[in-house]
Amino acid sequence: MHRARRLTRPCRNEWLHSTWEKAYQDHRKKVQDAQPLVDTHAPLSLGHFHLNLKKLKLEEERLSVIDRDNRLLLQKLSCIMRTRGQTDSRSNHTHRR
């Protein structure tokens, strides 16, 4: 299956012809010996793309609001439990004509 290479211009200089032939044979050997090379690694990921500081700050603020509301509700419930749920039926305002 190996074909002889044909030159477009016949070379009369033997030294030049042998130099070209050697370079061509070196090239053919490199092509035959070439190994397949496929990069299967994941691309380099940078930390500042994955760590969204603004989102973390908003989440922290949201959680602090929830904690504060829970604490207020707990105080109200504890006050109700201490006073045994009595209702305030006193009228402290005066009637005006």
Give a yes or no: residue 96 inside a domain.
no
Say what the pLDDT of residue 49 is: 75
Q: Is residue 8 part of a domain?
A: no
Enumerate residues 6+ apart whose C-beta is below 8 A from 11: 17, 20
What pLDDT does residue 75 have?
95
Our count of domains for the chain comes to 1
Residue 61 lies in a domain: yes
The pTM of this model reads 0.41
Task: Say how far apart CA 65 and CA 67 lie, in whole Å.
Answer: 5
The lowest-confidence range among 6-20, 39-53, 60-74 is 6-20
Asked whether residue 47 is domain-assigned, the answer is no
Please give the structure tokens belonging to residue 60.
């922290």
Q: Which residue do the tokens 């930390």 mark?
A: 47
- CB distance 45 to 26 below 8 Å: no
In a domain, 9, yes or no: no
Q: Kindly state whether residue 67 falls inside one of the protein's structural domains.
A: yes
Q: Band of the pLDDT at 27, cuts 50, 70, 90?
A: very high
Q: Which domain holds residue 75?
A: 53-82
Mean pLDDT of 75-91: 78
Tokens at residue 77, please? 């419930």
Residue 72 — very low, low, confident or very high, per pLDDT cuts 50/70/90? Answer: very high
User: What digits encode the pLDDT tens for the residues 38-48?
Assistant: 888 888 887 77
pLDDT at 76 over 80: yes
